[in-house]
Structure 1
Amino acid sequence: MYDAFLLLSFGGPEHPDEVLPFLRNVTRGRGVPPERLAEVAEHYMRFGGVSPINQQCRELVTAIRADFVAHGLELPVYWGNRNWKPMVEDTLAQMRDHGVQRALAFATSAYGSYSSCRQYWEDLDRARRAVGEGAPVVHKLRHFHDHPGFVEPFADAVRTAFRTLDPDAPTRLVFTAHSIPQSMDSSSGPDHNHRYSRQLTETAGLVASRAMSHVDWDLVWQSRSGAPGTPWLEPDINDHLNQLAKEGVAQVVVCPIGFVSDHLEVIWDLDEEAAATARQLGMGFARAKTPGTDARFVTMVRELVQERVQPTDAGRRQLGTLDHWDFCASQCCPAPARRGVVAQ
């Protein structure tokens, strides 16, 4: 049924001159003021104007190709981004020129909502229209928030982070994910049942239970970037750290389960801002790493492909209880009426 694989990611600048054009591309049509773009641009400039996400995608592509070959999965591997080079429309044009007709896409987002799922579908449709006649048909693989290949690397990373802290001090495990407008969360899922936050809550519980025999944990949010008057998922990680300090928590392990790799939102919002907040509070701080190119995560990508191209009676590997589906209904996760959202 399928003759290619597409890694579909967000994209990021790789030179200082690309930072503002990239941010304008991400926020096109949203009325984001120039001063807000300049503020976010400074985050990139602190790292030489380079986002690590593209290099992380290159490394993941290399690992996926090797894993496919090792397991006899004869699918060429391509890579395209939604917001910066290589743009997905350029990749689809290349795939068409190579004779690809039907491809499976793995999006580097584990959860369901407009921005973390449906928008990928829309960008694929936009790219196919831009390519025109002969553009490959592309089907997106399912959510993987509770797949062992996603959960277990996080659990190991949490244990590793705990070992860097004082074992006798009161410690809280804090999970983070990208905040979204509350209206977007309430409309995520085919039955409008807060699928984004429900999936994240399930992932947090799965990771926590596998990381430690008993640990107190919270799910909080990061990277809010919308208009001040729009309700977003709360609390923010920095506000939460202040509250934990008041409760006598001496140390935190922060685990960014909303992300598959250590890109700029993880590095800036957690390693810079949240870590600085913890220092100001006199609180110990350790951050668990993301799966990246962990062999189990790479295996998961292959297994998601095999579910579709080589279905077996063994069924899907999943640790949670929430439903999965391969194709979203037309009314699932509608686009929100919003302005002023900036992603990093």
Structure 2
Amino acid sequence: MSYDAILLASFGGPEGQDDVIPFLKNVTRGKGIPEERLEEVAVHYRHHGGVSPINQQNRDLKAALEAELARRDIDLPVYWGNRNWDPYFTDALRKLHADGKRDVLAIVTSAYTSYSGVGQYREDFERALDETGLRDEVRISRIREFFDHPGFIAPFVEGVRSALDELTDAAKTHIMFVTHSIPTTAATESGPEYGEGGAYEAQHLAVADAVLAGVGTDAPHSLVYQSRSGNPATPWLEPDINDAIAALDGVDGLVIVPIGFVSDHMEVIWDLDTEAMETAGENNIRAVRVPTPGVHEAFVAGLVDLLLERINAVPDSERPHESPLGPWPDHPSQGAALESAVTTTR
């Protein structure tokens, strides 16, 4: 395959107090979320000056990717666009098109299969191609979901080892792997062949197993969820991390592993570093939260490896993965039919 640019595609976040409500309206557009609920969520951002850390984290990741590409003598510029805040996907497409780029390979900052991590980004790209009028001139492809790629697993293995070392004086330690909750119907639709939790839950369980194997521990562990929102009557994946912490019996050491996230954005620093830590303290449990991959050397190198496997059309048999579910298949391209991509579906 021939590509002439990389697009770092992410969620976006506010960068000042005046941005918070407009950003949340972007996030919830079409969902009928009442204004008072937005104000409740806005408190999380206002507590941090109205600034989400995610944009700076993406700037840092973009710079790290550029450095790794340069180190390997790969001449591909990296552009950055967001779903919900500046710079938007439309901004990124207009800029790369003005620079003469036509065939784009995207890195989406979501490691797992779900509507928000796959389907919604596909819709976002379609909308951006239409809004910019570039559908016939720009093609967008994306790397596969990388939940079980060694570059994504390695930072968590390192973090869990460090956390367990920090909790050596605990009489009983539990490891909680945590990710964003989604409606159970959405989870099932992500891959019904995997059961009620779909591919989404199966992938997270596979990552937990891979991390435990990498650490070499048989400590008690569980998969829990955070950041539930929406109609209380709608079933979402459970248990919530705070309920799970309160239900621990005889545990005085807790390792929180945010395997659902690639960086320490607002839902990590609020839901985990604030609320979950408070719950642990209320239950006399000493908790250590493991870092997300961020710009960890192994993660950045792994993303470049994922770019190269798509560029070089590496066969599945040669694609690294650390679970029986992988390697997850490539996605079809969107936009200009410059050259048909050979893709598989699952």
* TM, length-normalised to structure 2: 0.92
- 2:338 aligns to what? none
Deviation at 1:163, TM superposition (A): 2.1
Range that drifts further, 129-138 or 266-275: 129-138
- 1:70 aligns to what? 71
Structure 1 residue 165 and structure 2 residue 167: aligned?
yes
- 1:289 aligns to what? 291
Counterparts of 1:168 and 1:234, CA distance in 2: 27
Q: Secondary structure in 1 aligned to 2:56?
A: helix
Are 2:14 and 2:52, in contact at CA under 8 Å, matched by a contact in 1? yes
Alignment root-mean-square deviation, CA = 1.8
Counterparts of 2:96 and 2:296, CA distance in 1: 27
Structure 2 runs not aligned, ≥5 long: 335-344
Deviation at 1:236, TM superposition (A): 0.0
The code of the aligned residue for 1:202 comes to A
The code of the aligned residue for 2:171 comes to A
Q: After superposition, give the CA deviation of every residue in 1:30-79 in whole Å (9 maximum; x if it has no partner).
A: 00011110000000011011000000000000010011011121111100
Deviation at 1:213, TM superposition (A): 2.9
The code of the aligned residue for 1:4 comes to A
Deviation at 1:310, TM superposition (A): 2.1
Are 2:4 and 2:77, in contact at CA under 8 Å, matched by a contact in 1? yes
Q: Secondary structure in 1 aligned to 2:9?
A: strand
- 2:214 aligns to what? 210
- 1:336 aligns to what? none
Counterparts of 2:10 and 2:282, CA distance in 1: 35
- Between the two proteins, the alignment pairs up a number of residues equal to 330
Match of 2:303 among 301, 315, 325: 301
Structure 1 runs not aligned, ≥5 long: 334-344
* TM, length-normalised to structure 1: 0.92
- 1:338 aligns to what? none
Q: Secondary structure in 1 aligned to 2:81?
A: strand
Are 2:139 and 2:333, in contact at CA under 8 Å, matched by a contact in 1? no
Deviation at 1:226, TM superposition (A): 1.4
Structure 1 residue 2 and structure 2 residue 3: aligned?
yes
Are 2:141 and 2:333, in contact at CA under 8 Å, matched by a contact in 1? no
Are 2:12 and 2:85, in contact at CA under 8 Å, matched by a contact in 1? yes
Q: Secondary structure in 1 aligned to 2:158?
A: helix
Range that drifts further, 234-243 or 66-75: 66-75
Mapping of residues 167-316 of structure 1, within 5 Å: 167-189=169-191, 193=195, 194-244=198-248, 247-312=249-314, 315-316=318-319
| Identity fraction in percent | 47
Are 1:142 and 1:325, in contact at CA under 8 Å, matched by a contact in 2? yes
- 2:132 aligns to what? 131
Deviation at 1:166, TM superposition (A): 4.0
Counterparts of 2:192 and 2:117, CA distance in 1: 15
Are 1:190 and 1:329, in contact at CA under 8 Å, matched by a contact in 2? no
Are 2:170 and 2:253, in contact at CA under 8 Å, matched by a contact in 1? no
Deviation at 1:192, TM superposition (A): 6.9
- 1:337 aligns to what? none
Counterparts of 1:174 and 1:94, CA distance in 2: 42
